Amino acid sequence: MPLLSDTIISRGGSGHLSLVGLPGAGKTTLGRQLAAHFNRPFLDLDVAIEARTGRSVRAIFVEDGEASFRAVEAAVLRDALAHAGPPLVLATGGGTPCFHDNMALLNQAGPTLWLDVPIEALAARLPPEEVAKRPLLAAAGGAEAWLRETLAARSKFYAQARLRCGAACTLPAVVAQLAGAGFALPATLPPAS
């Protein structure tokens, strides 16, 4: 039986396409668009964590603390990357790349893209109702200050992504960037009959 890490590595450059970046960067939004474009399954890691545990991300943070959440996040990530199905478009959680060896695993599993959206644009995208959905942001004094501090702490992890887009992380721009970088992203084949 192959090791989990062998399974992940064997997917190579055409494996899972993972999006990383701060809350509000558009990982979920762009991830869905990329999945539709490349005819791949889409997985949102936060949603997968909630499905696995039967609890909200917020509840895990509040009741068990961040370290517990990060352990569950790392376990669900490993399972997702090792899954035998077709390669995914994966929207990671905002903090996923910064804990355990998650960023190295994402890079082994396939192309990685940092949505490096300017802080001012992120803050404008996150009105109070969006802030309330995100436990770390909601607990902070102000969204913009939290985003700045968090970027300073996290950029060394996000910067390990193979690709990066800035203000214009649109579907056409990212598709062109992936093609230009030579990542092979074949459309998912229908299941053999």
Ligand X SMILES: Nc1ncnc2c1ncn2[C@@H]1O[C@H](COP(=O)(O)OP(=O)(O)OP(=O)(O)O)[C@@H](O)[C@H]1O
Work out whether 21 is an interface residue with ligand SKM (CB under 6 A): no
Work out whether 57 is an interface residue with ligand SKM (CB under 6 A): yes
**Residues 117 and 25: beta-carbon distance below 8 Å:** yes
Q: Which of residues 1-60 bind ligand X (CB under 6 A)?
A: 21, 23-29, 46
Query: Cα separations (Å) of 85 from 15, 29, 39, 48, 142?
Result: 11, 22, 13, 15, 41
C-alpha to C-alpha distance for 13 and 58, rounded to whole angstroms: 34
**Amino acid identity of 46?**
D
**Smallest distance from the beta carbon of 29 to ligand X, in angstroms?**
3
C-alpha to C-alpha distance for 91 and 21, rounded to whole angstroms: 9
- Taking residues 125 to 154 in sequence order and writing x for each that binds ligand X by CB under 6 A, - otherwise, the string is x----x---x--------------------
Task: Identify which of 24, 26, 16, 20 has the alpha carbon closest to the alpha carbon of residue 155.
Answer: 20
Work out whether 66 is an interface residue with ligand X (CB under 6 A): no
Q: How many residues bind ligand X (CB under 6 A)?
A: 15
Per partner kind, with CB cut-offs from 5 to 8 A, the member of ligand SKM, ligand X, Mg ion, none near residue 25 is ligand X
Per partner kind, with CB cut-offs from 5 to 8 A, the member of ligand SKM, ligand X, Mg ion, none near residue 116 is none
**Strand ranges of the sheet holding 112-115, from the earlier edge strand across to the other edge:** 42-44, 89-91, 17-20, 112-115, 163-165
Work out whether 93 is an interface residue with ligand SKM (CB under 6 A): yes
Q: Is 44 annotated as a binding residue?
A: no
Work out whether 29 is an interface residue with Mg ion (CB under 5 A): no
Q: How many residues bind Mg ion (CB under 5 A)?
A: 2
Q: Which of residues 9-28 bind Mg ion (CB under 5 A)?
A: 27-28
Choose which of 8, 15, 87, 94 interacts with ligand X (CB under 6 A): 94
For 93, the token pair is: 């959680």
Please state at what angle helix 45-53 crosses helix 57-64, rounded to 10 degrees.
70
* Local structure of 70: helix, strand or coil: helix
Which parts of this chain interact with ligand X (CB under 6 A)? 21, 23-29, 46, 91, 93-94, 125, 130, 134
